Chain A
Amino acid sequence: MTDQAQLLPGTLDLLILRAVSLGPLHGYGILLRIGQISGHALTIEQGALYPGLFRLVRQGLLKANWGTSENNRRAKFYELTVAGRKRLRQETENWNRLATAIGTALGTQAEEV
């Protein structure tokens, strides 16, 4: 349908959507959540999160509201829009298909060709 490469240049956008799908979070919270759900397997430079967040907001997948953090700091909280939730579902399916295909391809032994 749309050009995925443009909408999702890396996997970061997908991870952000996934992290936010569990409930509204501020930027720092998203990073923590990604670390938590990925078993801290991914290293992300913290600032790199923000261009992705703004891009998703502009695409209408996320919406942002100012609120107060757990330790009483003013912070912007992000949550999924309806379009964002739909996109997350699609991208997850795509990713799974791709991962399966690549996994199968890489797992194939020479004599099976």
Chain B
Amino acid sequence: MRLLDALRFRIANLFKREQMNAELEEELRGHIQLRADDLERSGISRGEAERRARIEFGGHVRYREESREAAGGMFLESVWQDLRFALRMLRKSPGFTAVAVATLALGIGANAIVFGVLNALVIRPLHVPRAQSLWGIERGKDNAVNQSFPDYLDLKERNRSFEDLAAYNVTAVGMDTGNNPTSAWILETTGNYFDALGIQPYLGRFFHASDEHGPNSAPYIVLTYAYWHSHFQDDRGVVGRTVQLNKHPFTILGVAPEEFRGTLLIVFPDFWVPLVNQEQLEGVNVLNVRSNRGILMVMGHLKEGVTTAQAVADLNSIGTYLEKTYPKDDGQMTFTLARPGLAGDWLGKPLRAFLTGLLALAGLILLAACANLGSLFAARASDRSREIALRLALGSSPARILRQLFTEAALISLMGGALGLWGSVASLRALSVWQPLPTAPLQIPVNADANVYGVALLLSLVSGFLFGVVPVRQVLQTDPYRVIKSGSTGTKVRRVSARDVLLVAQVAICALLVTASLVAVRGLVRSLHSNFGFEPRNAMLVETALSMAGYNSEGLPVMQKRLIDALKDIPGVQSVGSVDRLPLYYGANGTIVFKDDTIDLRPANAAAQAMVYKISPEYFDAAQTSLLAGRALSWHDDGNSLRVAVVNRKFANKMFGSELKALGSYFKARDGARIQVVGVVEDGKYENLAEDPQPATFYPFLQKPSNETCLVVRVKGDPRQVGAAIKSTIRDLDAGLPFTLRTWNQELESALFPSRMATLSLGALGTMGALLSVTGIFGMAAYSVSKRLKELGIRMALGAQRKEVLQAALGRALKLLAIGSTAGLLLGILASRVLAAIVYQASPRDPLVLGGVVVAMLLLGLLATWIPAQRALRIDPMKLLREE
């Protein structure tokens, strides 16, 4: 308590200085008046009395100053003094200052960036009122967020925990305002979406549950502010206007407020449309199919006073009811709650894991920077031992000297922090406007806010303290007498000093980062050259959804066949195939299948979970997926013939034991239809590059029509040469069909995006770690050479060889480097297991990686010790000895 009181008193003093001085003056003058009153009473004149009182009081100015000091008022002055002194010292050694500030700026900047992203995506909730009570519903042990619409309705009607439940989906539509049809990303939502979230319109009105009256009954649009701004030039007259979505008229109702950009933190839609119009928007209506879990997410605000545990129990009792009532469709209906911003665990889990890992690495970087600066400061303190000894001898207290050193440390850390923050704010701003994937409305809205500034300030102060504290013991142990007499620090040479430990730790951290980044880079390179089960080179992709031009069920395969035939006629095109969704495209379709003899088709009895692709007959040719056995699909596999499918090797082995046994055998689809296997193709990558082989099935699109269409155009030579021809061909067929045209390699960018990001981040951190290591080792080596110049000079005078001199000068630094690198490498190997989840085949036991790390660390060591070594070798013993 006393300490707190004293502190409060001092702080109060800082602000009350003026008042305090005035009061002190008044008190002293008052004293003299009181004394004069007494003297006057004894019969002296007033003037004489005051004169005598002043004399008796003694040195007025002196006592005033002494009183002020006694009251603690000197604190501020001495801080100011320290600050000016620190600035002077730093200006005297600009190199040291620059290195220290830059080191810290890197460390703090890296942390601020990673924290900024974490803050924006994980910590900060969605921009909706009462975000703390808004939860999304996850299902089953895999924490899937997608639900079927009938299940959603049951959950909504039967739960007693939520104020309301809303559901939404993300899809692309063709938007035509009268001139050029473009494709736009929309959120299809239930009518109660805005009301359930509690959002108010910026302009016009929102749609409500009361606007829905069955399929296609609510042709309304609510625009996002950004889309209104970019596509309608902030035109307030837009409300009430009719536009064409997929060739159907929709009315614009209003505009959402600027800060509300949908309910996914990283996906920015262009507008919202009621889900009841699904048939017009997606070409099919599956809202009444309980087994189709096509709803991306269900969410709502918990009622006042309802805990999450109560809500989960409530949902689970509905789940039990659903399992019992719909055994065919609903298995594993257990529920949990998750934050809706990142679609629960779907995006959230990998993102959180990645960011946490990155934050840990960035923390290590900062720690390395602090270790680095700590040894720099220790070296500096011992270089200044003479000055410190002198000050101690002249009566300065050790506390005062430490405060001086800490002021310097704090100054450097604040400068470094400011620089780092500036850099990170700029980087975050760049990251915010960056659209990583050209075809998806993906954005990372991560502008810095007060949290980021606070963290940067905190990190600066903490790191300032961390490296400021390193030389403390050194100062406390300084014996002024010995230092001034002998010129050495007078501390005993310990076998292992704190500085050595710091350096080893730092090198280890660096080696860890280098290992991790090399593992990631290797994995990325390998994933670019692995077998995807298709050939991405020399292929153009045309992606579209036929519903965007108004095609539906029966019209879909007809139009697809027309497209394929037309594109095949372009000169240079070898083959054209169609698939509903490309492998490695985000959001792959999968479903359960049953063995042919399974009667009870409840999900628990499923034999496998398999990817589903709906393809045209020539798809395998166009994708260059090799057929291992049987036949490919043909134009005769249509609605009138037997249901057939081609499966991959994994499926054949899992379901039937071998590829040959699979041919001609049957399995049952989710709906119970018997399907005959007519061919087996090689395994491929379907969901992500890091996955193990998984079962896949390929159905003829004539038997299973699909609105989503991706045409693979196999070309001889550079695929871009046919781009113009493809465009004009499609425009000739239907000018109102929006589509995107890219090479397959470009498309793969999105599949590679996570591992690329991981590699990039790790590479940046690894480079930073390497930089820090170089400066750290350099500092240590340079310092040890300069400390031992005299000794080395004597050795050389006595005939020591260059090698021996180098060994004496740098042996310790190199030994520490070796120990640190080994430790870091071992740590890196352990940590790389974590990486394996993101980066394809990230194996640390790769000789190339191990060799790379060793070579990198050797190079770093060489780089860092080069200048000190040169200096040691250039020692002229005569000159050196003469100087003393």
- Shortest beta-carbon distance, A32 to chain B, in Å? 8
**A84 close to B (CB within 8 Å):** no
Q: Does A47 contact B (CB under 8 A)?
A: yes
Asked if A57 and B58 make an inter-chain contact with CB atoms under 8 angstroms apart, the answer reads no
B71 at the interface (CB under 8 A from A): yes
Given contacts A46-B58, A60-B5, contact A27 B63 (CB under 8 A): no
Evaluate contact between A46 and B31: CB separation under 8 angstroms: yes
| A58 and B72 in contact, given A45-B58, A50-B28, A51-B67 (Cβ under 8 angstroms) | yes
B35 proximity list for chain A (CB < 8 A): 28, 46
Please give the distance in Å from A53's CB to the nearest CB on chain B. 7
Count, chain B residues at interface, CB 8 A: 30
B60 to chain A: closest residue by CB:
A47
Q: Could you tell me the distance between the alpha carbons of A3 and B5 in the complex, rounded to whole angstroms?
A: 20
Q: Which residues 116-141 in B have Cβ within 8 Å of A in the complex? A: none
Q: How far in angstroms is the closest Cβ of chain B from A90?
A: 15
The answer for the CA separation of A61 and B82 in the assembled complex, in Å, is: 30
Q: Which residues of B contact A47 (CB under 8 A)?
A: 28, 57-60, 62-63
Q: Which residues of chain A come closer than 8 Å to B9, judged between CB atoms?
A: 58
Q: Which of A14-22, A70-78, A95-103, A104-112 lies on the face that meets chain B?
A: A70-78
Please determine whether B67 and A53 come into contact, CB atoms closer than 8 angstroms.
Answer: yes
- CA of A22 to CA of B66, assembled, Å: 26
Interface membership of chain A positions 19-56, coded 1 if the CB is closer than 8 angstroms to chain B and 0 otherwise: 00000001110000000000000000111101111110
By the criterion CB–CB under 8 Å, are A74 and B67 in contact? no
Which A residues touch B28, using CB under 8 A? 47, 50
A71 to B67 alpha-carbon distance, docked (Å): 25
- Structural contact, A55 and B70, CB atoms closer than 8 A: yes
- Say how far A58's CB is from chain B's closest CB, in angstroms: 5
CB neighbours of B31 from chain A (8 A): 26-28, 46, 50, 75
Whose C-beta in chain A lies nearest to the C-beta of B59? A47
Contact B34 A73 (CB under 8 A): yes
Counting CB contacts under 8 A, is A69 at the interface?
yes
- Residue-wise, chain B 42-59 has the 8 Å CB interface mask toward A (1 for contact) of 000000000000001111
In whole angstroms, how far apart are the Cα atoms of A55 and B37 in the complex? 27
For the complex, what is the distance from the CA of A69 to the CA of B63, rounded to whole Å?
22
Distance between Cα atoms of A60 and B5 in the complex (Å): 8
Interchain CB contact under 8 A, B69 and A51: yes
Interface residue from A46, A50, A75, A83 paired with B67 (Cβ < 8 Å): A50
Most chain B CB inside 10 Å of its own CB: which residue of A46, A74, A83: A46
Which B residues are in CB contact (< 8 Å) with A53?
67
List chain B residues, Cβ under 8 A from A28: 30-31, 34-35
* B393 is an interface residue with CB less than 8 A from chain A: no
Complex CA gap A76/B23 in Å reads 9
A58 touches B6 (CB 8 A): yes
A48 to B63 Cα, complex, angstroms = 6
Which residues in chain B, 1-40, are within 8 Å of chain A measured between CB atoms? Answer: 2, 5-6, 9, 23-24, 26-28, 30-31, 33-35, 37
C-alpha gap A52/B66 in the complex (Å): 9
Rounded to whole angstroms, the CA-CA distance of A54 and B73 in the bound complex is 10
Distance in angstroms between the alpha carbons of A53 and B66 in the assembled complex: 11
Instruction: Enumerate chain A residues within 8 angstroms of B62, measured Cβ to Cβ.
Output: 47
Within the assembled complex, what's the spacing in Å between the Cα atoms of A47 and B24? 12
- A51 with B27, Cβ < 8 A, contacts A28-B34, A58-B9 known: no
CA distance A28 to B63 in the complex (A): 15
Residues of A contacting B72 in the complex (Cβ-Cβ under 8 angstroms): 58
Closest-by-CB residue of A relative to B61 is: A47
The chain A residue sitting closest to B28, CB to CB, is: A50
Scoring A47, A48, A73 by chain B CB atoms within 10 A of each residue's CB, the highest score goes to A47
CA distance A80 to B2 in the complex (A): 16
Asked whether A60 lies within 8 Å of B70 as measured between CB atoms, the reply is: no
Q: Which of B33, B66, B71 contacts A73 (CB 8 A)?
A: B33
Minimum Cβ distance to chain A for residue B57 (Å): 5
Residue numbers in A under 8 Å from B70 (CB-CB)? 51-52, 54-55, 58
Contacts of A76 in B (CB 8 A): 23, 27, 30
Whether A46 contacts B57 in the complex (CB less than 8 A), given A27-B27, A76-B27, comes out as: yes
Q: Is the CB of B60 within 8 A of A71?
A: no
The interface residues of chain B lying within 8 Å CB-to-CB of A74 are 26, 30
Are B34 and A26 closer than 8 Å at their CB atoms? yes
Distance, CA A71 to CA B58, complexed state (A): 23
Closest-CB distance, A83 to chain B (whole angstroms): 8
A71 contacts B37, C-beta separation under 8 Å: yes
Q: How far is the CA of A74 from the CA of B23 in the complex (A)?
A: 11
Across-interface contacts of B24 in A (CB, < 8 A):
50
Known: A28-B31, A46-B56. A51 touches B37 (CB 8 A): no
Return the chain A residue nearest B41 by Cβ: A71
Contacts of A83 in B (CB 8 A): 2
A74 to B6 Cα, complex, angstroms: 27
For B5, the closest partner residue in chain A by CB is A60
Residues of A within 8 A of B (CB): 26-28, 45-48, 50-55, 57-58, 60, 69, 71, 73-76, 83
B residues whose Cβ falls under 8 Å from a Cβ of A: 2, 5-6, 9, 23-24, 26-28, 30-31, 33-35, 37, 56-60, 62-64, 66-72
Not counting A69-B30, A73-B37, A75-B31, a sample of 13 additional A-B residue pairs whose C-beta atoms are within 8 angstroms of each other reads A26-B34, A45-B57, A47-B28, A47-B62, A48-B63, A50-B31, A55-B70, A55-B71, A58-B71, A60-B6, A75-B27, A76-B30, A83-B2
Q: List 20 A-B contacts (CB under 8 A).
A: A26-B34, A27-B30, A28-B35, A45-B56, A46-B31, A46-B35, A47-B58, A50-B31, A50-B64, A51-B63, A51-B66, A51-B67, A54-B71, A55-B70, A58-B9, A58-B70, A60-B2, A74-B26, A74-B30, A76-B30
Question: Which 3 interchain pairs have the tightest Cβ spacing?
Answer: A47-B63, A51-B66, A54-B70
